[in-house]
Amino acid sequence: MKKQYLLILFLLCLMLTQTSSIMAQSITITPADQTSFNTYGSGMNVDITFSAYGLCSTLFQGQFRNFEIYYYVDGVQIDVYHSPDNYPVNTCGLSHVYSTARYLSIGTHYFRAVAKSYTTQPPGLDLWLSVSQVEQENRIYINQIPQPVFYDVTIASTDPEPTSGNNYIIDGVNSTNGGTFQWEQGTSHTLVAASSINACGYTLNFVRWNDGVTSQSRTITVTGNATYYAIYRDKYGNNPCISLE
């Protein structure tokens, strides 16, 4: 009997001396704290992941127990998730993950995860020691931003119309006859006109854009519906195609 008491005393002392190194525990909430999302509507779906990690010593097994996840919106508790009482949701060296997709409305959302960590002696001695309570709180911001405004921007065929060939480069892409694009207000786009075109049997040189810009390459900023096209003339500044109509 005395030997048994001494063994138990020895194990208890050993357990107490190792409690500081038994659990390298942590709780992580994803998205990270103070993550900010922008939405055009009243809210959005966000995938929330809670993970708890524990690391054990050689002799003692560490587990997270009584795992709880609290959800607050602007300081008001909306929901809570409980693991079963005394159920080890996180075992030695492994992560327990609880993930859920939630619709988050405009505002500040708080997610708080709490877990109590325990150590146990080797199998056969049903003694538990509460080491510490681990918790993590994250704030997620959902911001409402103005709905983007789009305008029709038309890159029309050149004056005069060419016989063939790529007449424009629009945002780095070759285009034969342009087209109409829905571009967001405030965005910038590059337009490049060919230096010359073939039209009605003549080779005509670039002169200007229809709005007076004389550079072949230009950048436009979208402020409303607009139309752009390049104008070409012969060496005398004339459009020879008119006399042929």
Q: Rounded distance, CA 20 to CA 50, Å?
A: 24
pLDDT (tens digit, 9 = 90+) per residue, 14-39? 444 444 444 446 788 899 999 999 99
Q: Is residue 1 classed as helix, strand or coil in its secondary structure?
A: coil
User: What domains lie within the chain, and their CATH numbers?
Assistant: 22-144 (2.60.40.2910), 150-243 (2.60.40)
Q: Rounded distance, CA 67 to CA 85, Å?
A: 8
Mean pLDDT on 217-237? 96
Residue 240 neighbours by CB under 8 Å, 6+ apart: 200, 202, 204, 234
Q: Is it the case that residue 87 has pLDDT exceeding 60?
A: no
Mean pLDDT on 32-47? 94
* b/e map 83-103, b = 16+ CB within 10 Å: beeeebbbeeeeebeeeeebe
Q: Is it the case that residue 183 has pLDDT exceeding 90?
A: yes
Q: Identity (one letter) of the amino acid at 18?
A: Q
Mean pLDDT on 118-128? 53
* b/e map 205-220, b = 16+ CB within 10 Å: ebeebeeeeeeeeeeb
Written as six digits, the tokens of 63 are 């587990």
Q: Identity (one letter) of the amino acid at 138?
A: N
C-alpha triplet 229, 233, 237: angle, nearest 5°: 130
pLDDT (tens digit, 9 = 90+) per residue, 142-160? 999 999 999 999 999 999 9
